[in-house]
Structure 1
Amino acid sequence: MIFPDMGAGGGDLANVSRRGFVAGAGLGALVLALGLPRRSVAQGQGEAKFGADGMPNGWRDDPRIFVAIAEDGTVTITCHRQEMGQGVRTSIAMVVAEELGADWDKVRVVQADGDEARYGNQDTDGSRSLRHFFMPLRRVGAGARMMLEQAAATRWDVPVSEVRAGEHAVIHAASGRSLGYGELARAASGLPVPERSSIRLKDSSQFRYIGREGIGLVDNHDITTGRAIYGIDARAEGMFYAVVSRSPVYGGKVASLDEAEALKVPGVVKVLRIEAPSIPSEFQPVGGVAVIARNTWAAMRGRDALKITWEDGPNAVYSSDTYRQGLEAAVRQPGKVVRNEGDLERAMAGAVRRVEAEYYIPHLAQTPMEPPAALVRIQDGRCEAWACTQAPQVTRARLAQRLGLPEEAVTVHVTLLGGGFGRKSKPDFVLEAGLCSQAMDGAPVKLTWTREDDLSHGYYGTVSVERLEAGLDSNGRPVAWLHRSAAPTIAALFAPDPKHEMPIELGMGFVNMPFAIPNIRLENPEAAAHVRVGWYRSVSNIPHAFAIQSFVAELAHAAGRDPKDYLLDLIGPARVIDPTDLGDAWNHGEDPKRYPIDTGRLRRVVETAAAGIEWGRPLPRGRGLGIAGHYSFVSYVAVAVEVEVGEGGAFSVPRVDIAVDCGPVVNPERVRAQMEGAVVMGHGLATSAEISFKNGRAEQQNFDLYELTRIATAPREIRVHILPGGNYDRPLGGVGEPGLPPVAPAIANAIFAATGKRIRRLPVRDQLST
C-alpha cells in the first residue's frame, strides 16, 4: 500500500465559498478547501516512486479539507479523520487554528461524512493523520489568515504589510485599529486565495498551540457529560434492533434453520438469513442468521432460541496447538528468502558459539471497549448509515455494492469510536445492518455486536512463530544472523491462500532490521490462514519486535554482557540507512529519502529509557530490569521495565519508562496519552491476552478468558519521555502505534533478569508459577 508524503507535498487552496460549492451548508462566509492527493493509479505492493517534492508519482490533487469562518467569528474546521480516543479532532484543529491565529474558544470541529472525492483519503490507520497533513493544514490556516489581512488592509486603504492577524483579529498597529475575523469574513471570501509559493507560515517561536500543553480535547465536555454520540448510541425514529448468529467456524454455513421458537419471543419481528461469502471474504459479513426485534434484549433472546445446524467447512480442522506445531516445523526448514547479505553458512560455520531460540505470539483481538455497532436506514432509494468506522469511504463503497445502490446514494455519518485498534477499519458490521434494513423495507435498524460476537468472529492479529539463530565470535558479537518468520497474512482477506506475508508486513521490523551484522539471512516460510487475519494496533511489528528484542537479550546473556549495552552495540554507530537497501520498499508508505532509518535516533530512545529507569541500579531479589527498542511507523520508541516476581509467580510491574522520538510534536498531551495507553495494552498482550482455537472455534468468549490489563495489575508508574523533535519543517512520525511493539519484549527481558526464566511464548500467564 502506498500513502502520500503529505509533509512534502499537499495540494493548493481553493476558495469554495466563492464557487458556491458549499452554498446552504451553513459553514461560514469564508470557506477554504485544501486540495489533497488522491490515488489515480493502481497501488503496488510496496514499491513507491517519488517525485522531487516527495510525493509518490501518479498522485493528483483532489479536494478537500474545509476551514470556514462565519460572520460571528466562529471558526469551523472539518475533520476528515475519525476520532477514537487518539485526539485527532483536537490536533487537526490545533494546527489550523495556530496558523489562522484563531482563539481556541471560538473554534469548533465537525466530522466529515465518508466521501473520498470531497475529503481525500479518510482511513484512520497507520499512525499517519498528522504526519501526512501537518503542513497542508498549516497552509490552509495561513492562507485564510493572509486573506483576512488583505481584506482589512483594503478596508483601511493601507499596505497589507502594515497589518497583522492574530488572536482572532486583524490589527493595524500604526492607527490602533482592529477588526475581528467575523467582521472580515465576508469581504475575505471575495478575494483570491494566495498561491502556495506565497503562503507565509509562522515561525515555531510564535506558536501558541502547536507543541504546547494544556489545550484539552475538543470532545472532552461531551464525553465526560455523556452527550457524545458513539456508534452504539445512534438512534432513529421507528428503528428496530438486530443481532446476528454467525458460524462458529470461519467459512461455515447454515445447514438447517428452525426459527419458530425465536419468532415466539416477544418483540422479535423477523429472522433473516445472511448468506456466507466465498473465501477470501474481504470485508463482507461472515454470514449467519440475523434476528430483528423491537429492542436489543428481545433480539438477543430470539437469537438464543434459534435452532441452527452449522456446516463448519474446511476450517473446522483449525486448532491452535497443532497449528503452532506446523509453524514450528516451517521455521525449522528453509523458507522464502526476503533478505540475504554476506555468506551466512560460512559465518555460522566459523562462529565460536551458536545461539538459537523460537518465539510464539498468539492471535490477538482488538477488543475496543465499544463493540462494533451501526444504524442503517434506506429511504427513497438512498441509504444512510451511522457507524463507528475507521474507514468511512470503504464503508460507503461496500454498502453501495452489497445493497445494489449507486455510491452517490449512500451516506456514511461517522460517530465517535469507542476505540478501534484496526477492528473498525473493516465494515462487515455496517453491511449486516444494511442488509437488515433492506429486509425491513428500509426501516432503520441498529445492529450491535456483543463482546462474545467480537471475540468469536473478529479480524484477529496474526499468530506467529519466529525462529532466530546467531553465530557469535570470540567477543560475543554476532557475525551471522538467521531469522525465519512464519505467520498467516492479512493478504488472505483478499486473495486465495497467499501463504507468504505481504511486503508491508515484512517491512514491519523484519526486513528493515537495522543491526550492524555482516551476514544476515531473513526468510518467510509458508503459513495458511484459517481465520480472518486483520489489522491490529502496530500489526506485524508486535511479533517481530518481541522475537528480535528478546533474542538480543539472550545473546547478551550468552556473551556475558549488559543487555542495554549489547543492544546499543548491535544498533551500531549513528548512521542513516535507506530502507530500500535492506529490502523494505514499503517504509510505512513514506519516501525513504525523507524518512530513512536513523540509528542515532534509535540509540537515543534506548539511552533515554535506560536513564529514566536508572538502568544498572541495584535491585532486591525477585526484581529485574528489561529493555527493548523498535522502529515503526517512522518513529523510534524504547521501553525500560522494572518487574517484581514473588512467591508462587506473583507478578507486578512497579515502573515503566518509555521514550519516544516521533519528530516534531503537535500535541504533547496526546503523545503522552498514546504512549501510556501502549504500555497498558502491551502489558496485557504480554501477560494475559490470547485467542486460541479448537476445532475452528475461538476458545475465549469474553473478558473472563481473554484477559485485559485491569487497574489492579497495571504498571504502577508509567513515565513518558518525549525527545525533542527539532524544527517543525522536519517530517513528523507516527504516534498511535509505535509505542506498542517494545513493551512485551521489555517485560519478558525484565522477567529473565528477575528470575532467570526465559519467556519465549506469549502470554506469560502461569509460566512464572511452574
Structure 2
Amino acid sequence: MIHELKLMAEQEATTAAGSATRPVLANVSRRGILGGAGALVLALSLRSPARADETQTKEQKEHKYGADGMPHGWRDDPKVFIAIAPDGTVTVTNHRSDMGQGVRTSVAFTVADELEAAWPKVKVVQAWGDETRFGNQDTDGSRSLRHFFQHFRHAGAAMRAMLIQAAATQWGVPAAEVTATNHTLTHAKSGRTLDYGAVAQAASALPVPTDVKLKDPKDFRYIGTGKVGLIDNVDITTGRAIYGADTKLDGMLYAAIARPPVYGGTVKSFDDSAAKKVAGVVKIFKIAATPIPSEFMPLGGVAVVAKNTWAALKAREALKITWDDGPNASYDTDVFRKELEAAARKPGKVVRTQGDVDAALAKANKKVVAEYFVPHLVQAPMEPPAAVARVKDGVCEAWACTQGPQAANDRLMKALNLPDDKVTVHVTLLGGGFGRKSKPDYVVEAALCSREVDGAPVKLAWTRDDDIHHGFYHTISAERIEAGLDDKGMPVAWLHRSCAPTIGSIFAPDPKHELPFELGMGLVNTPFAIPNMRMENPEAAAHVRIGWFRSVSNIPHAFAIQSFVSELAHEAGRDPKDYLLDLIGPARTIDPTSIGDVWNYGEDPSRYPIDTGRLRGVIEAAAKGAGWGREMPKGRGLGIAGHYSFVTYTAVAAEVEVDEKGQVKVQAIDIAVDCGPQVNPERIRSQMEGAVVMGMGLALTSEITFKQGRAQQNNFDGYEIIRIDAAPKVVRVHLVPTGSYDGPLGGVGEPGVPPVAPAIANAVFAATGRRIRQLPIRDQAAGA
C-alpha cells in the first residue's frame, strides 16, 4: 500500500513579485532558496513535540514518519529554511500547499513573530516536493499548523537568539543586554542599534541553539491577533498570483485526454483520422490504462497534444474510440443504494462494542430505527486539476497545483522510470483542492505527454467535465441506526451500521471494509453517555475511484447521528439541543482508544483525548448565537448539530425557511468552533464561512449519480453547488478559545463541514414536520 494511505493509517493506531513595502510570495529553485551572498540561512534542526517518540505506534516506528508527521532523523537533517539577506529581507520557506486556507501567511507570521521581524520585510517562497528535506508535505487532514506551529516558533526564536548573539559579539557586550524588536537589535545602555541584515553574515557562522526561549503570548504581534492579511492577497486580487493553470514555459504545447468513461475501462480501438485534420494537432497517442486498483496513476485513454488548448479539445472531440467498459460497466447508483441499505439491515463486522446491545434493545421501553443516505460527491474545486511538465534528457520538471508534491514526485519516478534526483515538482497556488489535488494522476499525464513530444513542455488542464466524470469521488454511504429508549425517552442501547466503499479500494483489491481512519471519523468514537453501544461495518464494494473529500467520512456519520439525535428528541418530547447535551453527558475526557478508535486523527490520545466539555461548549455557543428557543414564525425552524473531527469541536445552529412549494432557504447559520489556541483567527473565520457554504451544497443540491458505470452529471448545471443567491443572509462564526499556545492545536480546514447538513435537515423538520433522511434535500421538504 502506497505512502499516503500508509501514513494516514499509521496516524490512525514562476514568481509573483510584490513591492518592497509589503510581504511577497515567490516560487524558487532549489539553489535559489539558498541564494544571496552573506545571507544568514538557518537550516534548523527542529525538535518534535515532547513524548512523540514514546507514543508512536509500532507501524509508525517502522515507517519514516513519527507521530507528528516529522521524518525520523529530523534532529540531524535540516528541513526548514529561514534566511535573512544583507538587506534585512526575511525569507520563509513554506512546505505546505496553499489552496485558500492561508497556510503561507500563517507559517510566515509564526516565524516572524518569534523572530521579531517587521512584517513588510518578510517574504515567502514555496518549497518543492522533497519530504526528506522539508518533512511531510501532504496538505490534508487539517494538520499543517497542528503539526508544525511549534516547530516554526522554535525556528524564529532560534534565529532571533543567533542575531542577538552576533550583535552582542560585534559590540562586545553580554547577549543578555541586547534585545530584538521589530527587525532592530538594540543595546539600551549605549543606545546602539543594528538592522537584522547588518549581522546576518556573522550570525550565519554561529551554531544553531538547541534551547531557546519562546515569547510570552501576551507579547505576540501577529500570532492570534487576526491583524495580518494574506501575504499574497494583493497578487491574488490583482491577477498576478500563479496557479497551476497559469504556468507558462517557452515552447509549451497543450494536451487533452479522452479517458475511459467507466472506471477500469480500456481502449479497444480508436480512429484518429478526423482528429489529425484539426489545425494545430502535434501528436495523438494511447496512454496505457492502470489496472484496478488504480492508486494515484492515470486512468489511461487517448491523448492529444496540440499547439493550443482549443485544437487539443476539438481533436479530442473528433476521436472515434471503442471502449471496453470493464468490470464496472453496470454500475448504477440507484441499484447500489438498495444493496447498501440491504447490507446495513444485516449484521456486519463489529468495530466497537460495549455492554449488551441486543439485551438492552429487547428490554427497551421503545425502539426507534432510521436509515440515512449520502450520495457520491465530487470536490469540484474552482480550478480543476492542472499541471505543466517537461521531460527531457532524463530529467523531469513539473509545475502543478498539488496538495501532495512528494506524492507527485513519487508517481513521476514510477511512470517515467527515473531516480529521485532527476524529478522536481514545483508547487503553485491552488484554486481550491478539497482532497482532489492530493491525487497527482494529472501531473503524471502531463509528463507522459511531454515525453511523447521529445521533451517539449506540455500543459494539461482538465475541463470541468473531465473533473466531474473522472474524479476520486467521496464515498456513497448507507447508515442505519437503532436505539432502545427507556421510559424517559433516553437511549439505553445504540446500534449503528455504516456501509460504504472505502478509500482503501484504490490501493488494494477492494478491501470492502472501511479502514480505521474512516471508522474513526465520527463512528467508533461517538462520545455519547449510553451504556450499551455497538457499531458495525457491513461489506461494500467500490465501483469508482474513492478518494479524500473535505471532512471525508465525517460527513455521512455526522449526518446520520446528529439527525437521529433530533429524531430521538422528538420521540421523547424534548428540546433537541438539551437532548443532545444529555446524550453527550457531563464534561469529561475520553481516551479514544478505549472506545474503539485506534486512529484519533494520528494524534497521541494522552494529548488529544475527546473532551465532551468542549463539545458541549460549542453546542451552547452556536445555540446562544442563534437565539435558540425563541418563537419561530410559520414555515421557519431552527436545527442544531455538533461534531468532533480532526481533534476540533464544531457545532452549527441553522435557521431555515420552507415556502409553500417546499423550497428550503437557509436564512442564518451560527457556527461555533473550538480548535484550541487560535493562531490565525481571521483564517479560522474564513474557513468556517467556507465550510458553511460547502456544507449547504452537500445538504441541498450536490450529488453524483452513475448509470452504466458513467457519471450522469457533466458540469455545474448537473452537479449543483450553492449559488450566491442561496447563501444565507447571515453567517456568524463563534470562536471558542481553549488551551495555551504551548499546548496542542486542533485542525481548522475540515471540521466545519460535517455539522452543517444535519443542522439544516433538523431545521427543516422543525419548520415542516418532515424528516430528511437522505442528501441532497432538493424537493423533499415539499412532502408527498
Q: What TM bracket, shorter-length normalisation?
A: over 0.9
Change (3 A) 1:644 1:23: closer
For 2:181 and 2:747, locate their aligned partners in 1 and report how far apart those are by CA, in whole Å. 30
Q: Secondary structure at the match of 1:647?
A: coil
Task: Identify which of 631, 641, 650 aligns with 1:618.
Answer: 631
Equivalent pair of 1:49/1:57 in contact (CA under 8 Å):
no
Equivalent pair of 1:2/1:44 in contact (CA under 8 Å):
no
Q: Secondary structure at the match of 1:222?
A: helix
* Counterpart in the other structure of 2:512: 499
Code of the aligned partner of 1:143: A
* Counterpart in the other structure of 1:132: 147
1:34-59: CA deviations, max 9, x gaps? 3368999xx97988899xx9769993
Q: Secondary structure at the match of 1:649?
A: coil
* Counterpart in the other structure of 2:125: 110
For 2:371 and 2:67, locate their aligned partners in 1 and report how far apart those are by CA, in whole Å. 40
For 1:459 and 1:54, locate their aligned partners in 2 and report how far apart those are by CA, in whole Å. 27
Code of the aligned partner of 2:170: R
What are the ranges of 5 or more consecutive residues in structure 1 without an aligned counterpart? Answer: 7-19
* Counterpart in the other structure of 2:163: 148
Task: Identify which of 653, 664, 667 aligns with 2:680.
Answer: 667
Please list, as runs of the form range in 1=range in 2, the aligned pairs for 1:149-168 lying within 5 A after superposition: 149-168=164-183
Question: How much does 1:694 deviate?
Answer: 0.5
Q: Secondary structure at the match of 2:508?
A: coil
For 2:557 and 2:547, locate their aligned partners in 1 and report how far apart those are by CA, in whole Å. 16
Equivalent pair of 1:48/1:585 in contact (CA under 8 Å):
no
Please list, as runs of the form range in 1=range in 2, the aligned pairs for 1:464-483 lying within 5 A after superposition: 464-483=477-496
Equivalent pair of 1:99/1:141 in contact (CA under 8 Å):
yes
Q: Secondary structure at the match of 1:648?
A: coil
* Counterpart in the other structure of 2:35: 25
1:472-503: CA deviations, max 9, x gaps? 00010000000000000000010002000000
* Counterpart in the other structure of 2:706: 693
Equivalent pair of 2:663/2:779 in contact (CA under 8 Å):
no
Task: Identify which of 386, 395, 399 aligns with 2:408.
Answer: 395
Code of the aligned partner of 2:428: T
Question: How much does 1:379 deviate?
Answer: 2.2
For 1:513 and 1:592, locate their aligned partners in 2 and report how far apart those are by CA, in whole Å. 15
Task: Identify which of 303, 313, 326 aligns with 1:300.
Answer: 313
Task: Identify which of 653, 662, 686 aligns with 2:666.
Answer: 653
Question: How much does 1:29 deviate?
Answer: 1.2
Task: Identify which of 511, 518, 540 aligns with 2:524.
Answer: 511
* Counterpart in the other structure of 1:271: 284
Equivalent pair of 1:643/1:654 in contact (CA under 8 Å):
yes
Q: Secondary structure at the match of 1:179?
A: strand
For 1:290 and 1:57, locate their aligned partners in 2 and report how far apart those are by CA, in whole Å. 39
Change (3 A) 1:204 1:57: closer
* Counterpart in the other structure of 1:92: 107
Question: How much does 1:448 deviate?
Answer: 1.1
Change (3 A) 1:57 1:288: closer
Please list, as runs of the form range in 1=range in 2, the aligned pairs for 1:353-364 lying within 5 A after superposition: 353-364=366-377
* Counterpart in the other structure of 1:594: 607
Change (3 A) 1:654 1:49: farther
Task: Identify which of 643, 646, 651 aligns with 1:638.
Answer: 651
* Counterpart in the other structure of 1:336: 349
1:454-482: CA deviations, max 9, x gaps? 00000000100000000000010000000
What are the ranges of 5 or more consecutive residues in structure 2 without an aligned counterpart? Answer: 1-5, 12-29
Code of the aligned partner of 1:585: V
Q: Does 1:238 align with 2:251?
A: yes
For 1:46 and 1:548, locate their aligned partners in 2 and report how far apart those are by CA, in whole Å. 31
Question: How much does 1:33 deviate?
Answer: 2.1
1:502-560: CA deviations, max 9, x gaps? 00000000000010000001000000000000000000000000000000000000000
Q: Secondary structure at the match of 1:59?
A: coil
For 1:58 and 1:145, locate their aligned partners in 2 and report how far apart those are by CA, in whole Å. 25
Question: How much does 1:726 deviate?
Answer: 3.3
Equivalent pair of 2:41/2:81 in contact (CA under 8 Å):
yes
Q: TM-score, normalised by structure 2?
A: 0.93
* Counterpart in the other structure of 1:180: 195
Q: Secondary structure at the match of 2:79?
A: strand
Question: How much does 1:214 deviate?
Answer: 2.4
Equivalent residues, number: 752
Equivalent pair of 1:149/1:160 in contact (CA under 8 Å):
yes
Equivalent pair of 1:33/1:140 in contact (CA under 8 Å):
no
For 2:748 and 2:67, locate their aligned partners in 1 and report how far apart those are by CA, in whole Å. 21
Q: Does 1:73 align with 2:88?
A: yes
For 1:3 and 1:37, locate their aligned partners in 2 and report how far apart those are by CA, in whole Å. 22
For 2:167 and 2:70, locate their aligned partners in 1 and report how far apart those are by CA, in whole Å. 40
Q: Secondary structure at the match of 2:45?
A: strand
Code of the aligned partner of 2:665: S
Q: TM-score, normalised by structure 1?
A: 0.95
For 2:69 and 2:779, locate their aligned partners in 1 and report how far apart those are by CA, in whole Å. 49
* Counterpart in the other structure of 2:716: 703
Task: Identify which of 752, 766, 771 aligns with 1:758.
Answer: 771
Q: Does 1:247 align with 2:257?
A: no
* Counterpart in the other structure of 1:422: 435
* Counterpart in the other structure of 1:749: 762
Q: Secondary structure at the match of 1:399?
A: helix
1:684-724: CA deviations, max 9, x gaps? 01000000101100011100010000100111110000012
* Counterpart in the other structure of 2:17: none
Code of the aligned partner of 2:118: D
Task: Identify which of 389, 399, 418 aligns with 1:386.
Answer: 399
> What is the Cα-based RMSD across aligned positions, in Å?
2.1
* Counterpart in the other structure of 1:11: none
Question: How much does 1:63 deviate?
Answer: 2.8
Which range moved further: 59-68 or 179-188?
59-68
Equivalent pair of 1:339/1:523 in contact (CA under 8 Å):
yes
Change (3 A) 1:645 1:274: same
Q: Does 1:256 align with 2:266?
A: no
1:49-79: CA deviations, max 9, x gaps? 99xx976999332431111101100000000
Task: Identify which of 21, 33, 45 aligns with 1:35.
Answer: 45
* Counterpart in the other structure of 2:574: 561
Task: Identify which of 82, 88, 113 aligns with 2:97.
Answer: 82
Change (3 A) 1:273 1:28: farther
Change (3 A) 1:377 1:291: same
Question: How much does 1:317 deviate?
Answer: 1.3
Task: Identify which of 360, 363, 378 aligns with 1:347.
Answer: 360
Code of the aligned partner of 1:32: L
1:154-206: CA deviations, max 9, x gaps? 111111111111100111111211111011111111111112xx200000010
Divergent runs of 4+, >4 A: 1-6, 20-24, 36-40, 43-50, 53-58
Q: Secondary structure at the match of 1:63?
A: coil
Question: How much does 1:605 deviate?
Answer: 0.2
Task: Identify which of 737, 758, 761 aligns with 2:750.
Answer: 737
Q: Secondary structure at the match of 2:552?
A: coil
